[in-house]
Amino acid sequence: MSYRISYELSKPQVRQLHKLFQKNWWSRRRTLSETRILLEHTDIVLAVVEEHTDDLLGFCRILTDYASKAVVMDVLFHPDCSDEGVRHCLMDAIFRHEALATVEHFEMCCSSNLLTFYDQAGTMAAAEGVTFKRANVADCVSGAESLRKPS
């Protein structure tokens, strides 16, 4: 199989990405419209695309300040693609991206079943003393309102 890195998605690839989102517990609620919005507001899109069919094999997006932090998000691979080279190609593209050359730290959230892959790839390690938290926006808004002093 031959593949290449792409820095943007075609309309069919956006639909393919949305289908990949539907297969993951952490992204299955995303609509096609939300998929388009998150792509519009992402600093860097990286995709591994099959050379002949243009099918999406792997994907990630990066939010960054281009200086200290780059947060790698939504790392996905097509479930029928078992080629480890695709995974390594995507990881290599992340760390070799020209615009990220001066970034000090790369951050990533991943499910525990992928920890072994990242360890073997030698790319990401657990950050000592760092814990990521997640909040539902509705909970944050109601919590903030309860902190306001009465007038």
Which pTM does this prediction carry?
0.81
Q: Alpha-carbon distance 105 to 71, whole Å?
A: 9
Query: Which residue carries 């517990």 as its tokens?
Result: 25
Q: Where are the domains of the chain?
A: 3-126
Q: What is the pLDDT of residues 72-124, one digit of tens each?
A: 999 889 988 877 889 889 989 998 999 999 999 888 877 666 666 666 655 56
Which secondary structure element, helix H or strand E, spans residue 4, and what is its range? strand 3-6
pLDDT at 47: 97
What superfamily in CATH does domain 3-126 come from? Gcn5-related N-acetyltransferase (GNAT) (3.40.630.30)
H-helix or E-strand spanning residue 16 = helix 11-22
Describe the strand order of the beta sheet including 105-108 as a list of residue ranges.
3-6, 44-50, 56-64, 69-77, 105-108
Q: Please report the pLDDT score of residue 40 as a whole number.
A: 97
Instruction: Examine the pLDDT at 129 and tell me if it is beyond 80.
Output: no
DSSP string, 60-87: EEEEE-SSSEEEEEEEEE-TT---HHHH
- Please give the structure tokens belonging to residue 131: 């814990």
